[in-house]
Every structure is written in C-alpha cells, then in structure tokens.
Amino acid sequence: MLATLLVVVVDLGGWGWPSRLHSAGAAVFGPVLRWVGPSGDDELSRARAANVRLADELRQARESATATSRLSPLLASPDLQGASVVAARVVAVGSPGASGPERVTLDVGRRDGIEVDQPVVAVDGLVGRVVDVSSWTSDVLLLGAADLRVGVRSGSMGVLGMVGAASSGAASRTGGELTLTVVAGGSVAAGDALVTLGSPGGRPFVAGIPVGTVARVDDPGGTAARTAAVRPAVDVTELDVVGVLRTVPRTTPRPASTP
C-alpha cells in the first residue's frame, strides 16, 4: 500500500517514471488483448477501414484546397506530404471514469510503424493521440481526457482556441461535451465547426481534422476568457475501426512565396 502511495505521489508530482509501467504492461498483456479483443477480419471491418482511409484522403484534399484558396502557396504545408493511414481496431477500452473512458488500446504497434504522438482519427474526425506503443499494440489518449487539449480553428473566420474536457467556473456541461476556450478578442457562435490547428511536423495533430461543433456559447459572467460547449465530432464511447496517421516530420525547408 505504501509503495502504491509512493508511485501515485511520484506520478502526480510529474517525475514521470511511473508512466513507464504502462510500457511493461503493454509488452506483457498486449498480445493477450489482440487475441481476446474483437477481431477485424470480416467484411464489415474491412469496409470501415476503407471508409477511414477515404475520409482522411478527403480531409487532406479539403485542407489542401482551403490552404490554396486562402494563402497559397504560403500555407501549402509539407506536413502532410508522405503521411499515410494505418487502419486499426479498438481491442480494449480503459476502465471509465465518471466522465467516460480516457484511453483505448489499438491492435497496431511499433511493428506497424506506430509511434508516440501520432494522431488518431475516425471517419467523422479526431479521436486522440498515441501515448504508449508496444510491439503489437498502442494506447491512445482520447479527446475528452483530462490531460488532452487541442489547438483549434473555429468557424469561417478561423478564430483560434483550445478544446479540452475541463470546463471553467459555473459553465454546465452534459456528459461527453467539451469546452472551447477562445483566444482573447475572438468570438464564436453556435454551429461553428472546429478543426485542428495543427502541430509542427504533424505531431501530435495535423491541421484540418474535424474536432466538433459549438453547441452553445457560455455567458462570460465577468470572466476574461470566452468559452463555449462543444459537441465532439466523434463519440469515443462507440469507437470501432480508427486510423493512425503516420505523419513524417518535415525535413525540407518550407518554400518562400514570391510577389
């Protein structure tokens, strides 16, 4: 019991080494879960995997078109060049908290080219990011987990903000809803679509992945930060086939635009 208390204190203190226990657990139990979990070797699973791939190709095409129309060629980011999608099946869902599951296990791992911090998507949008990888399985921190916040653009104006699970103050949220915190000066309205802002090298998130839709804007109530309730694009409690985006870190300088 004392050893457990020590591990909890060390982990909450941010020293980090207790998280390596996950790697040991994944190495031992990962193959068991691949065997016990639902198999993806049927026609429906293959069709769903194809849907995930097609949805990602469509998203990339849209993102490319948007970037071209807005700031071409300055924002023709090479982040997506060379990226590929690995279809995966959810074989285990972590013991849920009161706000829902925070982690899931996929049946793909290091041997499939999966690495930590790669983004995970479903047909409808963002699922989360890879946080642990073993030889045959990988663990994903889901959008809606307390420790995951995502930079987003909202609406047609591309207002910047952060989306996470935690709400501020008296703002009420129903189960599964997220909170958007808009950067100072920005404004959003109900119905605005949110997409990922993107990260350097496409990790942990590439730009343009649907995150959700603004459900309602909170009453500011004297606070400086403008917040809104967000309905996520993907219901993480009903995940089946997902895709891991194998992004390739940029190695070439970004081309400069000429007048």
* Beta carbon of residue 4, minimum distance to another protein (angstroms, whole number): 5
Q: Is 18 in the site for another protein (CB under 8 A)?
A: yes
Angle value at C-alpha 91, between 87 and 94, nearest 5 degrees = 120
Judged by beta carbon, residue 77 or residue 227, the one nearer another protein is 227
Q: Is 210 in the site for another protein (CB under 8 A)?
A: no
Q: Note the maximum CA span of the chain.
A: 67
* Cis before 101? omega within 30: no
Distance from C-alpha of 160 to C-alpha of 182, rounded to nearest angstrom = 6
Local structure of 27: helix, strand or coil: helix
Judged by beta carbon, residue 164 or residue 210, the one nearer another protein is 164
Q: Is 5 in the site for another protein (CB under 8 A)?
A: yes
* Beta carbon of residue 57, minimum distance to another protein (angstroms, whole number): 26
* Beta carbon of residue 235, minimum distance to another protein (angstroms, whole number): 10
Judged by beta carbon, residue 67 or residue 194, the one nearer another protein is 194
Local structure of 236: helix, strand or coil: helix
Distance from C-alpha of 205 to C-alpha of 129, rounded to nearest angstrom = 8
Burial 105-119 (b: 16+ CB within 10 A, else e): bbbbbeebebeeebb
Q: Is 128 in the site for another protein (CB under 8 A)?
A: no
Q: Which sign does the torsion angle of CA 152, 129, 71, 233 carry?
A: negative
Q: Is 122 in the site for another protein (CB under 8 A)?
A: no
x/- binding map, residues 92-111, to another protein, per CB under 8 A? xxxxxxxxxxxxxx------
- Could you say which of 56, 63, 139, 218 contacts another protein (CB under 8 A)? 139
* Selected range binding another protein among 34-42, 76-84, 192-200, 241-249, rule: CB under 8 A: 34-42
For the chain, how many helices (H) and strands (E)?
Answer: 3, 12
Q: Which of 176, 181, 121, 122 is nearest to 154 (CA)?
A: 181
Q: Is 165 in the site for another protein (CB under 8 A)?
A: yes
**Are 224 and 213 in contact, with CB atoms under 8 Å apart?**
no
Judged by beta carbon, residue 14 or residue 253, the one nearer another protein is 14
* Selected range binding another protein among 54-62, 160-168, 190-198, 211-219, rule: CB under 8 A: 160-168
Q: Is 174 in the site for another protein (CB under 8 A)?
A: yes
Residues of this chain that interact with another protein (CB under 8 A) are: 1, 4-5, 7-8, 11-12, 18-19, 21-22, 24-26, 29-30, 32-33, 36-38, 90-105, 132, 134, 137, 139-141, 145-147, 165-168, 173-177, 237-238, 240
